[in-house]
Amino acid sequence: MKIVDIAVKKVYRFNCPNCQSRLEADSKEVVDIGGKVCKFHCPVCRKERYIAWSDMRKKIVYEGEGAQK
């Protein structure tokens, strides 16, 4: 077995349900409040917002990926 890529962090991409701004949050910035809903702070609205986990798109960033683009 060999290592292909090393995962560095997990980020979520989503739209704010209120202002429809495209946002990207680190997994530490999104708070699971139970069930199928999570809480985040929208920097555009400047308020706490709630969104379903199903509305978020998960992206895993690998080591050295940022340098290639």
CA distance 30 to 11: 9
Cβ contact 38:32 at 8 Å: yes
User: Residues 13, 41, 66, CA angle at the centre, nearest 5°?
Assistant: 40
The reply to whether the predicted model has a pTM over 0.85 is: no
Q: 9-37: per-residue pLDDT in tens?
A: 899 999 999 999 999 999 889 999 988 99
Cβ contact 28:38 at 8 Å: no
Q: Quick one: 27 exposed, middle or buried, by C-beta within 10 A (0-12, 13-18, 19+)?
A: exposed
Residue 61: pLDDT over 80:
yes
